[in-house]
């Protein structure tokens, strides 16, 4: 059983399109995250979200929006895709945000914008 699963794993789409990446965790964690691994391979946080609070990295364009239908899911919606959005996006979860807990990652979604 995959602890953090995200779909699709690979996505190729045209500029200007709107796309979503889905994420689900079955660990019973309270907090979920979206990370972006850029061309320089840095893992940078985009969002963290628990039931009460969404924290957005201020550098993330507002074309990106997380949507959480329930505690176990945090989907990433991207509007008006741009070439520079091509990257690997990782969903992750932890028991409680910022309290010494391990973050568990999904396998990543490779987004290519053409």
Partner 1 sequence: DQQVKQNSPSLSVQEGRISILNCDYTNSMFDYFLWYKKYPAEGPTFLISISSIKDKNEDGRFTVFLNKSAKHLSLHIVPSQPGDSAVYFCAARNYGQNFVFGPGTRLSVLP
Catalogue the E-assigned strands of the chain: 4-7, 10-13, 19-25, 31-37, 43-49, 54-56, 64-67, 75-78, 87-94, 104-105, 109-113
99 is a site residue for partner 1 (CB under 8 A): yes
4 is a site residue for partner 1 (CB under 8 A): yes
DSSP 3-state of 58: coil
107 is a site residue for partner 1 (CB under 8 A): yes
30 is a site residue for partner 1 (CB under 8 A): no
Q: Which of residues 36-95 bind partner 1 (CB under 8 A)?
A: 40-45, 48, 55, 90, 92
Interaction site with partner 1 (CB under 8 A): 4, 33, 35, 40-45, 48, 55, 90, 92, 97-100, 102-108
């Amino acid at each position: 059983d995959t602890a953090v699963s995200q779909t699709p794993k690979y996505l190729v789409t045209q500029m200007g399109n709107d796309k979503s990446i889905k994420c689900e965790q079955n660990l019973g964690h309270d907090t979920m995250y979206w990370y972006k691994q850029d061309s320089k391979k840095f893992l940078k946080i985009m969002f963290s979200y628990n039931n009460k609070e969404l924290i957005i990295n201020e550098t993330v364009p507002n074309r990106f929006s997380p949507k959480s239908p329930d505690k176990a899911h945090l989907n990433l919606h991207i509007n008006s895709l741009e070439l520079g959005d091509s990257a690997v996006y990782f969903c992750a979860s932890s028991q409680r945000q910022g309290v010494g807990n391990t973050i568990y990652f999904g396998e990543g979604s490779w987004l290519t914008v053409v």
